[in-house]
Copies of this chain bind each other. A is one copy, B any other.
């Protein structure tokens, strides 16, 4: 029982999934460039951000055109409006990877992250990867159980973020203010990456169930 509307909605959802893949790749590459001082990789992430922005732009046009041509109502309309929101969150997640890559580039040939903090940043990257991977599953299968799990996965990121601030505030911090500023902003970029993923997951949950995720 497929029709043009649902075929096009599927195609839009496939593009969202592709966007989420590009965002995950950008985040992984951005962290790698940050932790290894790889300027070329940082430049790649910075250039790729335009691709993500272009996909969002194209996706929004397709969504609005589909609304205009098919005039969906009720859950179909809400579903389409959700794609506008999800693409905006994914685009923003791409921006955060872009900011991380720009930090790596700004400090080249030096490195923004001191050796002491590299394991913690690597943990934040692993948390971001886990979040990004689950987010792709949520988008692909409209998986509401995993959508709910993402909030807990993001708690891991928030814990790591608090741990990072704790290190910066430790009595033995010896890397100066510039590195503290870099690490404060980097920590926030990873944290916000997780927040946007939770926001997308909550939206998928609402689209599928008609219920809002209730905060515990």
Which residues does A use to contact B, with CB under 8 Å? 60, 64, 67-68, 71, 73-74, 77-78, 81, 84-85, 88, 165, 168-169, 173, 177-178, 180-181, 184-185, 188
The list of the 3 closest CB pairs from A to B, nearest first, reads A68-B73, A184-B184, A71-B71
Q: A63's closest neighbor in chain B, by CB?
A: B81
Inter-chain CA distance A64–B60, complex, in Å, is 16
Inter-chain CA distance A85–B168, complex, in Å, is 36
Inter-chain CA distance A147–B178, complex, in Å, is 35
Do residues B188 and A177 form an inter-chain contact, with CB atoms below 8 A? no
Q: Which of B74, B84, B177 contacts A68 (CB 8 A)?
A: B74
Q: A175's closest neighbor in chain B, by CB?
A: B177
Inter-chain CA distance A76–B121, complex, in Å, is 46
Q: Which of B77, B85, B168 contacts A181 (CB 8 A)?
A: B168
Q: A81's closest neighbor in chain B, by CB?
A: B64
Do residues A177 and B178 form an inter-chain contact, with CB atoms below 8 A? no
Q: Which of B169, B177, B184 contacts A169 (CB 8 A)?
A: B177
A-B contact pairs, 25 of them (CB 8 A): A60-B81, A64-B78, A67-B67, A67-B77, A68-B73, A68-B74, A68-B77, A71-B71, A81-B84, A84-B84, A84-B85, A85-B88, A165-B181, A168-B181, A169-B177, A169-B181, A173-B177, A177-B177, A177-B180, A180-B180, A180-B184, A181-B184, A184-B184, A185-B188, A188-B188
Inter-chain CA distance A81–B74, complex, in Å, is 16
Contacts of A84 in B (CB 8 A): 81, 84-85
Inter-chain CA distance A164–B169, complex, in Å, is 20
Contacts of A178 in B (CB 8 A): 169
Contacts of A85 in B (CB 8 A): 84, 88
Inter-chain CA distance A84–B169, complex, in Å, is 40
Q: A173's closest neighbor in chain B, by CB?
A: B177
Inter-chain CA distance A188–B187, complex, in Å, is 13
Inter-chain CA distance A68–B80, complex, in Å, is 12
